[in-house]
Chains A and B, each alone.
Chain A
Amino acid sequence: MKLQRKNRLRALSLGAVAVSGALALTACGSDDTGTKTGNGSSSSAAAGSIKCDGAKGQLLADGSSAQKNAIDAWVKNFSQSCGVQINYKGAGSGAGVTSFNQGQIAFAGSDSALKPEEVVASKKVCKGGQGIDLPMVGGPIALGYNVPGVDNLVLDAPTLAKIFDSKIQKWNDPAIKKLNPSAKLPDLKIQPFHRSEDSGTTDNFTKYLIATTPDNWKYEGGKAWQAKGGQAASGSSGVAQGVKQNQGAIGYFELSYAKDMTTVAIATGAKTPVKPSTDSATADIAAAKVVGTGKDLALKLDYNTKAEGAYPITLVTYEIVCDKGNKPETLPATKAFLTYLASEDGQKVLSQNDYAPIPEEIIAKVRTTVASLS
């Protein structure tokens, strides 16, 4: 009996500790929720002009994780106004296109346009039509670095390629000094961070290196990192974390991860080196050419741009839908959602979330294409 009573006492005290712990935790949490509701109200103010057009039910979508935050913000506004439940599962561009071509989802998000064989495969799902790319989200890929005492680092493409290929190993290398004559560069080992898993961000960053400085970056490119050396970390958050923790580190990630970090300005050949920002990325996309045929609006970005204020390392995320032959039960909701994304209010949501809006000329084409979906 005595033993049992002891146990009960112990259980009681444990319970008390758990309850008080939970209370203490909720106390710390209340600050955050305050700021969050602030954000929510500002973005729902922008949700005024959503046209539902008989959209109802549930939409399934999947794809690029780079645009996940943007989609989440849109989904929140859209489902508040229209009551449509949208489930976007940012499993990666490859997974998104695969599920789209198996007819499992209403639209996919992808960091790269459909490949010819993927377009062929999409014809099975899109009865009488095919999958098309609609550029909807832009985003600069920032290069964050951690070098004490250096605030305005400028690099160009060949230097970047050599740093990430472990050819330049110290921050006081002559090549970096030449680009930063006034900076006090320390004798510090450079630790380039890349993504450990396959990623569209890696793909777009290496595409930039291949396009601008093929002599210094002799790899094929693609979603998997190919250069040897350096540090690998999982996810953009892991890379950003690694850069923050380690002196001498440099890494690439979406702009939203670079908030409390110094970022590299790229010497593009323009008069002043360009820092990553939503505006400078939009300026870069404005110079892109539409290379898609028919209703497809796939873009070809100009990585060698020398335009003032255009940040060259930019990625565009496409929403992929059928131009004809979308499933009748999801068509109204898909159309209404994409119309909202391409609308002025929809694009405004992007810059609030550290993404770059698509420039007016291109988004106007997206709007007409979305209106013609069937």
Chain B
Amino acid sequence: MDISTTTDVPPSAPRPDAGERRTARGVTRPGDRIFLALSRGSGILLLVVMAAIAVFLTYRACLAISADDGNFLTTFEWNTNTDPPVFGIAVLAFGTVVSSVVAMALALPIAVAIALFLTHYAPRRLSGPIAYVIDLLAAVPSIVYGLWGALILVPHMQGLYGWLDQFLGWTGIFAWNGGAPRAMLTVGILLAIMILPIITNVSREVFRQVPRMHEEAALALGATRWEVVRMAVLPFGRSGVISAAMLGLGRALGETMAVATVLSPSYDIQASLLDPGGGTFAQNIASKFGEASVQGRDALIASGLVLFVITLLVNGAARAIIARRKEYSGANA
């Protein structure tokens, strides 16, 4: 990028004809004013709508939390139709984070590998169609992923679960009691497939922007292809890959229907990834909304607000990481 900017003509170069510039600045035509009003209006409208939504959600959430008979943060229960209601988000927060982390751990290496293959290894003739197929993955609606997961993925997970239990069961995280594999690991795998295209596409664009000079310099020093990737491509693309991962994580955190169809929800925390149970915020809202009373809806809104806060924290952390890397990687994240 450095090279291209230096070859460009700087846009701020002074124009030779000073008189022309003055007229361009001094006269405002009606079109300008209308456009200014429109764009400023849109900006203000967005803020007003956001503020209205935030006020509404916070108000309803406060109503629910003040009526809650349990502890909103630590109760392992979701009974909103009783009087007084008893509910807590501990299980949901845990399940949301765990399923997203599993999805991230599975999807990120594969997505980065695909992106590297497409930009640095694959012949042009091959990379086009592959990129196209990956784009198609992103176009599949999540309910279809859910149905596929419930009908095909779940029955085929038995073997993997048995294998993990046999060899890694002693860790406790991979212990399996033989129940149908509708647990966090299956959800994580499904989510990984769903976020794969997002991470791949963004990483691919970033890797494509690696300055040719960097790579050629590495080659000139006698680096092999892998060494070029390691020394020139990955450091340059790091912050881009992180923002790609965060985009993917955002989708994994908020995924609703696919989780609701595959997971066997319950309001307790399972230490093992392979035992059915747990839940996520979005899945719980989808499952409980249909028959929820007014109180129940408020409680669901409150849980939605917590998801919002978690997403904000994750995005904030990602921005902080990118800002720190920017100084020496030179990437335009």
Q: Using CB atoms and an 8 Å cutoff, list the residues of chain A in contact with chain B.
A: 91-95, 189, 191, 196-199, 222-224, 228-229, 231-234, 238, 241-242, 245-246, 249
Contacts and interface: CB of A to CB of B under 8 A. Distances in A.
B237 interface: no
A231 B293 contact: no
A95 B79 CA distance: 17
B182 A234 contact: no
Given A234-B260, A241-B151, A245-B155, A199 B291 contact: yes
B291 A92 contact: yes
B148 to A, nearest CB: 13
Given A197-B287, A232-B266, A241-B151, 16 more contacts: A95-B291, A189-B179, A196-B264, A196-B287, A198-B288, A224-B78, A224-B79, A224-B81, A231-B179, A231-B180, A231-B182, A232-B264, A232-B265, A234-B261, A238-B150, A242-B180
Given A198-B81, A241-B150, A246 B180 contact: yes
B286 to A, nearest CB: 8
Nearest to B129: A10
A238 to B, nearest CB: 7
Interface in B256-271: 260-261, 264-266, 268
Nearest to A14: B132
Contacts of A238: 150, 261
B180 A191 contact: yes
Contacts of B154: 245
A249 B180 contact: yes
A246 B264 CA distance: 13
B276 interface: yes
B81 A92 contact: no
Contacts of A199: 291
Contacts of B14: none
Contacts, number: 63
Interface centre among B81, B151, B261, B291 (most CB of A within 10 A): B291
Given A91-B290, A198-B288, A189 B178 contact: yes
Contacts of B268: 228
Interface in B122-175: 150-151, 154-155
Contacts of A196: 260, 264-265, 287
25 contacts: A92-B290, A93-B291, A94-B292, A94-B293, A95-B290, A196-B264, A197-B287, A197-B290, A197-B291, A198-B291, A222-B81, A224-B78, A224-B81, A232-B264, A232-B265, A233-B182, A233-B264, A234-B260, A234-B287, A241-B150, A242-B180, A242-B264, A245-B154, A245-B180, A249-B180
Contacts of B287: 196-197, 234
B270 to A, nearest CB: 11
Contacts of B81: 198, 222-224
Contacts of A231: 179-180, 182, 264, 276
A53 B80 CA distance: 44
Nearest to A231: B264
Contacts of B182: 231, 233, 242
A93 B154 CA distance: 31
A229 B180 CA distance: 12
Contacts of A224: 78-79, 81
A78 to B, nearest CB: 26
A11 to B, nearest CB: 12
A93 B292 CA distance: 11
A298 B111 CA distance: 59
Nearest to A90: B290
Contacts of A93: 291
Interface in B264-302: 264-266, 268, 276, 287-288, 290-293
Interface string B47-81: 00000000000000000000000000000001101
A190 B288 CA distance: 26
Contacts of B178: 189
B292 to A, nearest CB: 8
B225 to A, nearest CB: 28
A222 B85 CA distance: 14
A355 to B, nearest CB: 21
A95 B81 CA distance: 13
A224 B266 CA distance: 11
